[in-house]
Each structure stands twice: as C-alpha cells, then as structure tokens.
Chain A
Amino acid sequence: NAGVMQNPRHLVRRRGQEARLRCSPMKGHSHVYWYRQLPEEGLKFMVYLQKENIIDESGMPKERFSAEFPKEGPSILRIQQVVRGDSAAYFCASSPLIASTDTQYFGPGTRLTVL
C-alpha cells in the first residue's frame, strides 16, 4: 500500500515562473491537505481539499496560489509568478475521513527553490 506520493521532490524555478506541485494521496483517502514549511519554522496549513472541492483555503495566500483536487488524478498546488519568498518545503497529507480523529499521513515533500 503506497503512501502519499509527491512529485517532484525538488523543483527549481526562476522568479516569475510557475511552479506545479503534485500530490497523490494514499489509496482510499479522499481528503488532501497542503502545508508549507519555511526554513526554521513549523508546518503552516495552506488548504484542505476533497475530490473536486476546496473545503478550507484560509491558509493560502490570496494571490498567485491555487489548488485543485480533480475527480481523476493527483492534487495540484500551483504557484504563479514565483518569488524568492516562496522557497520552502511543501508537504501534502491525506486522510480517509472528515471531521474525525483520523491521522493525516504526509508525503515526503517538494522542496521549491526560487532563484
């Protein structure tokens, strides 16, 4: 049973380019969460999605960032016109149930570097 998969593991972009981060949840999980970890900081919640729905995007910057979780395929976190401050590790997590005490299972993360 494969765990949460993220790709790419490392992504380098120049300022102004777009970054696309992909997350495939664990089999049977229909809830996906994206977190960002800046250097020397903890995990900050960005967005919570179910299939085809954004449930909570309160942690996501209003501009340049978007997320989707289509009916088929992985969840995508998209950052347009990247800036140096976007350099961070982006983790996604998945869980099987909503509003439950089920644990979130994390992927290995995508490390984004903006030059």
Chain B
Amino acid sequence: DQQVKQNSPSLSVQEGRISILNCDYTNSMFDYFLWYKKYPAEGPTFLISISSIKDKNEDGRFTVFLNKSAKHLSLHIVPSQPGDSAVYFCAVFKGGQNFVFGPGTRLSVLP
C-alpha cells in the first residue's frame, strides 16, 4: 500500500526548459511535504519543503506547489540545468510520525 506515489520513474527535459515532477499521496493527515535530490553514490539532499497551510513555496529556480484537495505535490525547476540531473524524491510527514518517501523520479536535463 503505497502512501506516496511518483508515477513517472523518469523524465527528460531540454536545458533551459521547465521540469515538472509530480507526487501524489493518500493520507490527508500529512502536514509537511519535502523534496530531496539524490546524486549517484550520495545521500539525499534536502531541496525545498512546504507546509500544509501553504499552497506554494519558492526558492530560486525551485518552486513547490501543494494541492491539498487533490493530495498532489509538484516540483517545478525553471530553467532546468544539466546539474539538476538526479533522482528526486518527494517525502511526506505527519507530526509525531516518520517521513514517508516516494519511489523517486530520475530527471535527465539534456544540454
């Protein structure tokens, strides 16, 4: 029973274009949402987060959108750069419980 889904295992985008990574969750009680980036042979690195009281959070080229009614989270990267090529995990959290990670989406930004 997957609580967090990332239905696109991989995504290819041209450099300079927008990358949109999607994440769906099942439990409306989750109240904090994060995106992590992971390069091969390294641990995941925190990228950006959003709490359930917001619907958008922006940090430079990265914006996270939250649609609570749809239980949907997305990460927009614009403009995409080759260095953004990595696996992106969304994670959800409910206070007092543990993070639940999605299976990841492998983003390839083509020069």
A residues contacting B by CB (< 8 A) are 4, 6, 33, 35, 41-45, 48, 56, 59, 91, 93, 98-101, 103-109, 111
Contacts and interface: CB of A to CB of B under 8 A. Distances in A.
B107 interface: no
Given A4-B43, A99-B95, A104-B99, A43 B89 contact: yes
Contacts of B43: 4, 6, 91, 93, 106-109
Contacts, number: 54
A45 B95 contact: no
Closest 9 CB pairs of A and B: A106-B43, A42-B103, A43-B101, A99-B96, A99-B95, A101-B32, A103-B46, A106-B44, A108-B43
B54 to A, nearest CB: 12
21 contacts: A6-B43, A33-B98, A35-B101, A42-B89, A42-B101, A42-B102, A43-B101, A44-B101, A45-B101, A56-B98, A91-B44, A93-B43, A98-B96, A101-B93, A103-B34, A103-B46, A103-B49, A104-B99, A106-B44, A107-B43, A111-B41
Contacts of B98: 33, 45, 48, 56, 59
B63 interface: no
B85 interface: no
B99 A33 contact: yes
Contacts of A43: 44, 89, 101
